[in-house]
Structure 1
Amino acid sequence: MRKVSQAMVSAMVAMSVLGGCSFGGGEGGDEKKKAPEKKLGDKGTACVLPVHFTLATSWKAEAITQATVDQMGPLGHQGPLTPACELDAKPAGNIGFLTVWSGTKGAAAPGGTSRALMKEFVAAEHFESKLKLREVKAGGLSATEASYTVADPSAGEVRPERALAVMTKHGGVVLHLGGLDADEHKAMLPAFELAKKSLGLTS
C-alpha cells in the first residue's frame, strides 16, 4: 500500500471525517459586487496552505494536523514532506485522495528546486517504478510533474500515481493523486488537472 494516501483509503473510509469542506459553487450576492472566490489553501478554507487551487466539485477537504501526523508515525512522512491536507473523492463518487504534502527541510527547503524535491518524494515510495519527470507550468508557477506506478503485492496489482511539485518561499509542496486502482485513478485525473491549472501562491 502507498505510504499515506493509499494506506488512508481503508482507514478513512472506516472513520467519519469531521469538519471537512466541499467546494465547487460560488456564493450569492446579486446586488453586491462579488468578492473573489476563495480557493482551497486560502485563509478561511478547510486547509490553509502555501499554495491555493480550485477543488473539484463535491470533493471534501480535511486539514491534517501535526497531532495526526505524529500519531501516524512513519506513515506521516514521505521524504522531507508531511501531509497537510487530504482531499477525499468519495463524495464525488470515487475512491481515492488528492493529498497535499509540504515541508521546509532537505530538498523541500526554500531556494531548492521542484525537480530535486520530486525525486526525493518519489524515492520514498514503496515499490515505485516507471518514473517519468517533466517540467511544466502549474497555473503561473514552474513545477515538476511525475507519473509512475506503484506495485501493491498484497493486492497483486500495479497502480498508476501522479504528483506535482512546486517550491514556495515557505518551502516545498507536492500534490499527489493516488486511487484505489487504475480505474479510480483515471476517473480522478480531471480533479488533479484542475488543481494543476488553477495553482497559485497564497499571500
Structure 2
Amino acid sequence: MDRREIAAILAYIGRLDPRTVRTDTGEARDQIAQWHELLHDVPLTTNHGWDVRQAIRAHVLASPYPILPVDVGRRWHAYCRDRLDRHTDPTPSADPDDPGAWRAELLATRHAVAAGMAEPSAHRKITAGGPHPDIETRLAAIGSCIPAAVRAELAPYRPARAAREAAVAAGQPDALSVPCQWCRAARGEPCRSRRIGPDGRARGNAPRATPHPTRVDLAAAGLAAA
C-alpha cells in the first residue's frame, strides 16, 4: 500500500476505533510513516480473497486492544501461507534443460499465488469420485491391484495373508472369515499362539502363520451351510 492508501486505512480504523485517531498533524504524519514502513508490501485488496479492511474489522471485533500494523502484517502472512499450503506446483512450460528458466517460472508462479494474483493450483488433490473406468476394467481383468509376481515376492513377509490366499485359491474355506473360538482372534485377524503359564495366565501372544484347526472347521461348516 502506498501512503495515500495507508492514510485511507487509518481513517477507516478511526471510524471503527476512535482510540487510534491522531489529531496532532505531526503524530498523524508519524503514524502514516510507521504503517507505511511495515505494510508497504501488503496490498489493499486482491482478486482472490484478501481485503485489508476485512482483516481490520476482524481484529476490532475479536480484540479489545487497538490494532497495530503488525496485526495486519501477520494476517497477510497467514493468508499467504494458507494459499501456498493449498498450492501444487504445475509443470513449468520452460525447457527442463534450462534450470534457471525452470526455477524462475516456479518462483514466479508461487509468488503470484502467495500475493493473491493467481489461484492455487490443486490439480493433484484427491477427489470424491470413484476410480477411472480404465482402472476398473484393468482390475476386473487381473483380479487384483497387486500383480501375481509381486504377491509371490511379498508372501514371505506376510505369511498369514499368503496362507489365506493359498487356501482360497485351492478351494478351501477362508478361515479368517470367522472369529477364532480358541485364541479369540477377531474376524480378519490372524490367530495367536497363546502359551499358558503355571499360574494360568497367558505368556505369549505371537501371531500364527496358519489358523487354528477349530477355526478352519468353523469356516468349513459355514461354507457348507452356504
TM-score (norm: length of structure 2):
0.20
TM-score (norm: length of structure 1):
0.22
Name the structure where strand makes up a greater proportion of residues.
1
Name the structure where helix makes up a greater proportion of residues.
2
Bigger relative CO (Cα 8 Å, ≥ 6 apart): 1
